[in-house]
Amino acid sequence: MKLVMRLYRAARPLLFCFDAEKAHGLSLQALKNGFLPHVTNAPDPILAVEYFGLKFPNPVGIAAGYDKNGDVLAGLAGLGFGFLEAGSVTPKPQPGNPRPRVFRLVEDEGVINRLGFNSKGLDVAVRNFANRPAGVIVGANLGANKESEDRIADYVLGMERLAPLASYVTVNISSPNTPGLRALQGRAELEELLGRLTAKRAEMITAGAASFPILLKIAPDLTDADKSDIAAAVLEMQIDGLIIGNTTITRPSSLISATKAEAGGLSGQPLKPIALAALKDLYQATGGRIPIVGAGGIQDADDAYARIRAGASLLQLYSAMIFKGPYIAADIAKGLAAHLHADGFGSVREAVGVDTPIP
pLDDT digits (tens, 9 = 90+) for 286-318: 999 999 999 999 999 999 999 999 999 999 999
pLDDT digits (tens, 9 = 90+) for 11-35: 788 889 999 999 999 999 999 999 9
pLDDT of residue 180: 83
**What mean pLDDT do residues 271-298 have?**
98
**What mean pLDDT do residues 56-78 have?**
98
Name the band, by pLDDT with cuts 50, 70 and 90, for residue 134: very high
Average pLDDT, the chain: 95
pLDDT digits (tens, 9 = 90+) for 182-219: 888 888 899 999 999 999 999 999 999 999 999 999 99
pLDDT of residue 38: 93
pLDDT of residue 150: 96
pLDDT digits (tens, 9 = 90+) for 246-262: 999 999 999 999 999 99
pLDDT digits (tens, 9 = 90+) for 312-354: 999 999 999 999 999 999 999 999 999 999 999 999 999 999 9
**What mean pLDDT do residues 220-249 have?**
95
Percent of the chain with pLDDT over 70: 99
pLDDT digits (tens, 9 = 90+) for 152-167: 999 999 999 999 999 9
pLDDT of residue 181: 85
- Ranges 91-95, 185-189, 280-284, 292-296: which has the least confidence: 185-189
At residue 3, does pLDDT exceed 70?
A: no
Q: At what angle do helices 328-342 and 301-310 cross, to 10 degrees?
A: 60
At residue 88, does pLDDT exceed 90?
A: yes
Q: Which domains can be identified in the chain, with CATH numbers?
A: 2-351 (3.20.20.70)
**What mean pLDDT do residues 72-92 have?**
98
pLDDT of residue 212: 98
**What mean pLDDT do residues 106-120 have?**
97
Q: How far is CA 172 from the centre of its chain?
A: 9
Q: How far is CA 28 from the centre of its chain?
A: 17
Catalytic residues: 175
At residue 1, does pLDDT exceed 70?
A: no
